[in-house]
Structure 1
């Protein structure tokens, strides 16, 4: 069978520059590389043809001989052997991460450890503060109990791959190139299964939903992770399983806001209690407690209830509850209440500075501001 024209193989013209030839080769080699064609023999031959064409056209002397005498003027096997260039040295920037090519990529592919899994767990604030045990259901891959994870039918065993002799990779030389690629026969495992397990169909793993009991420690917060070692996916061919990470998310609370180990809440305070003082019942996670409100309390005042926060899951230290009081202006007043408030307000007019010190300070500052603008 006659060989195709090398320029035609790479899809370039006879006057193409070196960079055009290299660019065409990279594009075609990427497309037809054996790791991408899943052992298709026809496409593998096409890849060899592309390599051979590039070997000739990228060498000035060989290209000149080819241009003058055609295929008869070049020897496609010339230069093969000990002095061959490593494929990864030339095109590592293109194939390095995709094919694992280049120097140091040889050797048998190890069976991969099972993948780690993540489970998102929603909790209330009360549950997170106190801790609890929960049962979760996790869909995952587990080792096949029929074949003990080997993938081979019970009573049989995988055999060493005759193509790569158990290495998982094969080396192909063509001209100046030496390409190490995943063995197309065993897909890099080094073993082949002639009689696969009926349950897992030769994969060694099956899908299953596991039910696990997880103890959530007291004090966890949104973003905390609990690691369950070995509860992830089963590994390939007996490799270790991955881990399961339970990711905690604490739902928003109607009353409290958490900041690390402290809790915050806003408590409405009546106008009269703010002025006269008294006792107020405020909520905590352990029930209601009495909070003493001193007379003349202003809105926004923060009160600290020590030890009423959250116990740290790491240090064991207990945070505080911070209560911010908000003085509530009376609404929906009847005529008598309005009359009493007006009477009360009139009693304060003669001593505004004494009863409303902030009001005087504010308006004095406003007056000074406008005086400065005029001046």
Structure 2
């Protein structure tokens, strides 16, 4: 690698002003807006990088000490590293450069499902906006045909050393290299599509398996389904949180399905058969003569399939007997005759029925 001082055409004792003047002179000659020659464009990049290093006092000092071409010395070792082990001072001498590739972040999405979907479980396609590995550089961060370059400030170590005078003598400590941010390499030609990050934002569609019997608020973890990591790092995980939508007819009690059935008074007195449309088809219902409001008809095995297993809960139907509000003269007379013949007892208070359908009673009270 060419010496930065030679690239700018200055001596190693050049002052900051001399370095700046040399850079400006070369920039006027080599800038792509002035000189269309591709070779000039590459040299302009070298000139700019050399100026970036030598114009920063700390980077220049490290470059001079770090064994660059014509450098004044090598890496400090020995007592300084021992001191650092006990007293700290940034990165340890053996830490080396840090990895550019990192694990991607976890992601969380919420999926709304209908009550029908959890009777047997189902599959849903969900589109998410997330970070994916760049399709141009495949996570290398570099423009195709190029590769990372060893940092010429820390020479690939990822750390720079600083010498400090102390009571113990000259102490050398390690600190992250400011030129490469501790990676040990730089990206001279970043990928134009991901700007050197190795990943881009994109939408992707995934298939989500909705388990039977899932509850609202339950989460599922898909390992590796989260965001792609920088520089080709592994994906994070994707967490899916389910929300069960409200159903106008059916509610849920564990694996049981609950509903109410409005029955005409005459059907309750005489008994009848009918059918209702459940979440998985028609269900025949036998209403016995003399049925009362809040009685429960249980249909075995027509509820929700358990989350871990093949058995199903029950369908439980609470009866609500409807009393007619308007009767014509003939109907009223017939009811009167029925009352006289059966001689029902006078209305009186009875014991409160504490049953398993306290949830459904709220529906009765609402009308």
CA shift, 1:316, in A, is 2.1
Paired residues for 1:274-285 under 5 Å: 274-285=268-279
- Alignment equivalent of 1:127, drawn from 99, 107, 117: 117
Q: Say if 1:102 and 1:257 are closer, same or farther in 2 by CA, change over 3 A.
A: farther
CA shift, 1:360, in A, is 6.7
CA shift, 1:320, in A, is 0.8
Contact persistence 1:221–1:250 (CA under 8 A): yes
Contact persistence 1:152–1:202 (CA under 8 A): yes
- Alignment equivalent of 1:160, drawn from 136, 150, 162: 150
3-state SS in 2 of match to 1:237: helix
Q: Deviations over 1:211-239 (max 9, x none)?
A: 33344344444334444432321112222
Counterpart CA distance in 1 for 2:310 and 2:174 is 56
Q: Say if 1:296 and 1:168 are closer, same or farther in 2 by CA, change over 3 A.
A: farther
Contact persistence 1:264–1:321 (CA under 8 A): yes
- Alignment equivalent of 2:224, drawn from 219, 230, 247: 230
Match of 2:196 in 1: 202
Q: Say if 1:322 and 1:107 are closer, same or farther in 2 by CA, change over 3 A.
A: farther
Match of 1:259 in 2: 253
Q: Say if 1:228 and 1:344 are closer, same or farther in 2 by CA, change over 3 A.
A: same
3-state SS in 2 of match to 1:125: coil
Q: Deviations over 1:154-184 (max 9, x none)?
A: 2222133344555545576768899876543
Check if 1:147 corresponds to 2:140. Answer: no
Counterpart CA distance in 2 for 1:241 and 1:360 is 67
Structure 1 unmatched ranges of 5 or more? 1-40, 45-79, 89-100, 363-375
Match of 1:71 in 2: none
Q: Deviations over 1:114-157 (max 9, x none)?
A: 11222322222223324333332221111122222111122222
CA shift, 1:324, in A, is 0.9
Check if 1:185 corresponds to 2:179. Answer: yes
Check if 1:341 corresponds to 2:331. Answer: no
3-state SS in 2 of match to 1:184: coil
Contact persistence 2:272–2:289 (CA under 8 A): yes
Contact persistence 1:87–1:178 (CA under 8 A): no
Q: Deviations over 1:229-287 (max 9, x none)?
A: 32321112222112333332221112111233211111112222323333232332232
Match of 1:244 in 2: 238
Match of 1:37 in 2: none
Paired residues for 1:1-375 under 5 Å: 86=87, 108-110=97-99, 111-166=101-156, 168=158, 182-349=176-343, 352=345, 359=348
Task: Report the TM-score when normalising by structure 1.
Answer: 0.60
Counterpart CA distance in 1 for 2:325 and 2:175 is 81
Point out the structure with the larger helix share. 1
Q: Say if 1:314 and 1:360 are closer, same or farther in 2 by CA, change over 3 A.
A: closer
Report how many residues are paired: 273
Contact persistence 1:312–1:318 (CA under 8 A): yes
Q: Say if 1:321 and 1:172 are closer, same or farther in 2 by CA, change over 3 A.
A: farther
RMSD: 3.9
Task: Report the TM-score when normalising by structure 2.
Answer: 0.61
Structure 2 unmatched ranges of 5 or more? 1-54, 59-79, 352-367
